[in-house]
Amino acid sequence: MANRTNIPLDLPPDPQKTRRQVRLAWGLVVIGVACALLGGAIYGGSLILSWMDSRMTTDTPESAGVVDTGELVIAVSPAMKPTFDRLVETFNAGATEPNLPVLTVELTPEKMVAQSVEPAPGFQALAPDSSLWLHQLEQQWAAQVSDESESSVIPLTQRRTNTPVRYAVSPVVIVAWESVARELSWPYETVGWQHVLRKATEDPGFKWNHPSTNNASGLLATLAEFYAGAGLTRGLTEEAATDPVTLEYVRAVESTVRFYGEGEAVILERLKAEGRDFLDAFVAQEQTVIAWNQGQPAERLVAIYPAEGTLWADHPLALLELDTLSEAQRQTYQAFAAFLTGDEAQRTLLSVGYRPADLALSLDGPGSPFKENDAVDWRQPQTTLQMPSPRVVAVVQNVWWYTKRPTNVFLVVDTSGSMEDGDKMETTQQALLAFLDNIRGDRDQVGLIEFATEIKRLEPLQPLTDEGRNHLEGIIRRLEPQGNTAMLDAVWEAHQQIVQGGDREAINAIIVMSDGLENASAHTNHELRTLFEDDEAQRIVVFTIAFGADADVKLLREVAQIGGGQFRHADETDIEELYRTISTYF
């Protein structure tokens, strides 16, 4: 017998019947549809999901131009993609005419939304990790249609997405190593945000994070914090979200975050590489716990269901209504959607830790990873928070920039002579500008060190107000390559500048980019390691980027390790995107 109650799926209206004739009517309809609720399942408690409720790979181009009608391409979130590809392989193996082959491309949901409103995205369907992104897609599409209209009358049109289905769900939880969870009083107490806040305040060595709000788990966790601060479990309003008491509560919790960052896929990669040295706890979907523990690690992860309540990632699949969409692609989508919600696919999803959309599948039945598994609890969460309206979600996203932990970050940029090669300098400038563009809060401070044979320019930390932003952008546009490479000296100086600032309440970070071999520094890597070890309490994290084929990869890896951060390799095609990704950590 199933342990859940089936609540019907309330799908959006048929797009062929949706017409917008005036701007006001369009706005009212969009808001109304956006607030419609998608019926959810009940897992030991009430679950209400709202239907209008990261890193890019090179599987397909970002924009494919003319759509190839010989296949159906689906954009998939990074964490889901390995499982999704298994399902696609099974579907393709058993598909018959007129169904076309299904292909996938890995995209962060943010990129799915951005590309979905373009005239010719490189995919015909999308599978983000939350319906939140479908809301944003429809809102952007509505705004685009309004902007393109030359009058107040909106041309006859239709929604950008159609025939959505939900094929899996996973609650957002606080994930901790088992020993850490026990320190937080698990399983003897119902642990919540207050326990995390107390642990992080009392133990300076405690490291936890939630992803940036451009990831579903990060945004849903942030919404849960605002609910907890407001003392509510449903009906979060703009007034409640912006109440000083709520903001102070969220600010207190956020002040203990070690850093932000990307979603579950990257977290699992770093756990495999760094283990306990990475984080003590983090926010993720429940499925992450099962996936990690299935690998039989030295220490288990445990899912903590916040006492104050939580929200769910609902994993929708939706078809894009494109002018170039063929009937064969539409039929293939319908067939694949039916396959995803069918018994075989649902059992596959359950086997890797997702809760299936098929309510007939028992979570504690034979073969279920939830059965006799105390690291997760299929009866939880006991309290499911109501998804706020899209308007409130947008307010929370904006307000978060003023409640999150502030950042002091130094951009350390190699402008040695080798940067004259090709378009390296211009590409680097665009990447640095993209980084600044993604840092929105004026509580954040950015400094810049330009180095070659020696430090050529030092711009101290300054708030990213309009004046500060314009100043740094002007300097970046005037960078010129010349000289050798004194990278270690530049990192040393950035460290000294941050320490002199003495701001231990902020996320303190250094981002280093170099395209050549270290050959001019007075300081050594050994001295740099000693410097960071002697000032552990400052917690300065270092990201290093090897740009191009001739960069000193070994040394850049070591510097990132010294600073407890990350090393990335970039070339001319992806350094701008890499800087955008790194900006999510702040």
Looking at residue 109, what is its pLDDT?
93
Stronger pLDDT, 442 or 387, i.e. the higher one: 387
Whether the pLDDT of residue 36 is over 70: the answer is: no
Tell me if 496 sits within 8 A of 410, measured CB to CB: no
Question: Tell me: the pLDDT tens digits for 508-527?
Answer: 999 999 999 999 999 999 99
> What is d(CA 477, CA 429) in angstroms, rounded to the nearest whole number?
6
Map out the domains of the chain as residue ranges. Answer: 15-169+314-361, 170-312, 407-583
462 neighbors 446 (Cβ within 8 angstroms): yes
Enter the tokens of residue 178: 């088992």
Domain at 15-169+314-361: CATH code: 3.40.190.10
Mean pLDDT of 406-422: 95
Give dist(CA 552, CA 450) in Å, integer: 18
Question: Tens digit of pLDDT for each residue in 576-586?
Answer: 999 999 999 99
Give pLDDT, residue 95: 85
pLDDT score recorded for residue 440: 84
Residue whose C-alpha is closest to residue 564's, from 585, 584, 539, 583: 539
Q: What single-letter DSSP state applies at residue 73?
A: E
Percent of the chain predicted with pLDDT > 90: 77
Task: Find all residues with CB under 8 Å of 299, minimum gap 6, and list them.
Answer: 177, 178, 179, 276
What average pLDDT does this structure show over 431-459?
94
Judge if 15-169+314-361 and 407-583 fold alike in CATH terms: no
pLDDT > 60? residue 102: yes
Position 157 confidence tier, pLDDT thresholds 50, 70, 90: low
Share of the chain above pLDDT 70, in %: 86
Global pTM value:
0.84
Region of residue 180 (phi > 0: left; psi between -120 and 50: alpha; otherwise: beta): alpha
Instruction: Tell me if the bond preceding 155 is cis, omega within 30° of 0.
Output: no
pLDDT of residue 394: 93
Beta-bridge mates of residue 463: 445
pLDDT exceeds 80 at position 444: yes
CATH 3.40.190.10 assigned to domain 170-312? The reply is yes
Q: Is residue 149 very low, low, confident or very high in pLDDT (cuts 50, 70, 90)?
A: low
Q: Return the DSSP state at 502.
A: T
Residue 406 has what pLDDT?
94
Query: In this predicted model, what pLDDT tens digit does every residue of 175-229 receive, in sequence order?
Result: 999 999 999 999 999 999 999 999 999 998 899 999 999 899 999 999 999 999 9
Interatomic CA distance for residues 312 and 293, integer angstroms:
21
Average pLDDT over residues 530-556: 89
In the predicted model, what is the mean pLDDT of the chain?
A: 87
pLDDT at 536: 61
Asked if the 407-583 domain carries CATH number 3.40.50.410, the reply is yes
| pLDDT reported for residue 61 | 39
| β-strands 281-285, 208-209 pairing | parallel
360 C-beta neighbours (distance < 10 Å), count: 11
Could you read off the pLDDT of 324-379 as tens digits, one per residue? 999 999 999 999 999 999 999 999 999 999 999 999 999 999 999 999 999 999 99
Reported as a pLDDT band with limits 50, 70 and 90, residue 23 is very low
How far is residue 430 from each of residues 56, 435, 476, 511, measured CA to CA in Å? Answer: 18, 9, 9, 15
CA dihedral 260, 265, 270, 276 (to 10 degrees): 80
CB 515 within 8 A of CB 418: yes
DSSP 327-374: HHHHHHHHHHHHHHTSHHHHHHHHHTTPEES-TTS-TTSTT-TTTT-T
pLDDT value of position 537: 55
Residue 33 has pLDDT above 60, yes or no: no
pLDDT band at 65 (very low <50, low <70, confident <90, very high): very low
Residue 25: pLDDT band by 50, 70, 90 thresholds? very low
- Residue 544 clears pLDDT 70, i.e. is over it: yes
Q: Three-state DSSP class for 96?
A: coil
Give per-residue pLDDT as tens, 246-287: 999 999 999 999 999 999 999 999 999 888 889 999 999 999
How does DSSP classify residue 585? T
pLDDT bin (cut points 50, 70, 90) of residue 97 is confident
C-alpha span between 288 and 297 (Å, rounded): 13
DSSP readout, 518-544? --S-SS-HHHHHHHHHHTGGG-EEEEE
CB 10 within 8 A of CB 39: yes
